[in-house]
Structure 1
Amino acid sequence: MTVSGEFKGETGPTLNDAPENNIRIVQVSGLVKWFDVGRGYGFIIPDNGMQDVLLHLSCLKRDGFDAPLEGTRIICEAVARQKGYQCLRVLTVDSSTAINPVERRPRTHTNVTPSSAWIRAKVKWFNRARGFGFASEGEGAPDIFIHMETLRKTAIADLLPDTWIYVRFGDGPKGKMAAEVRLSLEGGPAHTQ
């Protein structure tokens, strides 16, 4: 497939500048994680579990689509770039699954001050689309709530169940709440972007 010279990567030269045999184009189907019209970009969460795909407004406009709302289903062709996958061509946009801004619950993330030392905890579950999850110090210990915003501070994109992490927590409105999260050197890696 020949790649259009009009498409420019986030930080690099046009795709035509790269040797064609080094370009690997993959078809991606997924939901829009978020999209900021002011910044002109957002991200798609692929259905197959691969890392998030960068989506530029210019790409959408070129292919005849408007800026999508969170939750919109998109099928596109993506290309691997230095910082991850980036949408090359938008094939279809289905807004029937989109969350309209009026229906969206306001994001209320409470920041807590850490009152604990670094403790080792196991991720029970984490849902990045919903933006939160829980970890546990062990049997009988109260769960530790982990908000997506806390992970973003250290560029952690996702946590996989049964992986070990280090957490400093404080008292949140409903119990223990992570103030800082770091990946453990033991127990397997967590997925990062």
Structure 2
Amino acid sequence: MRVEEAVQVGTPAEEVIVRGTVKWFDPVRGYGFMVPASGEGADILVHFTVVRDIGRRTLPEGATLTCEVIARDRGRQAKRITDIDLSTAIGPDPETAAARAADRVNPQAMIAAAGEYEDVSVKWFNRLKGYGFVVRIGRDEDIFVHMETVRRAGLVELLPGQLLRARVAPGHKGPLAVVIEAPVGTEAPSA
């Protein structure tokens, strides 16, 4: 082998910056493809290792990426992701959904930390959203109440101004009603 050939073999592939959208990414297989914007050539392989380098395990379809791309024997491949825009994703981002789920609190697990029953009044409750807020009588501090807590109490809906009794626990985002009940002698909409 001549010296010139050795230099050519060891020369790094030319890098180009390409912006495009994620066509698909399969975290089980460990790769996916992005489609370059403005028809800048064939699809580009995005390997798990470059996704991991930006602190992620997967990419949602439709997310916009800016990548350093190199040509390989079997086609172009992302060498490094320099920018990601998740707002263009056309489907849910599994990592964002997982983070939200991990951030949710199970009210039943907090019962031991809850105080005694106290009188509260419904500030507002949205059944479609699945949550609302109550306040202690004579105070303004919002206390979060989840639809599951309402269901466990045998109630269908909470109405503004409705009186309840609640056991409140400190949550990481503020106070949380972990158990509610209609006061003795009052009628509340039931399931």
TM-score interval for Structure 1 and Structure 2 normalised by the shorter chain = 0.3 to 0.5
Larger Rg: 2
- What TM-score comes out, normalization by structure 1 length? 0.42
Choose between structure 1 and 2: higher helix proportion: 2
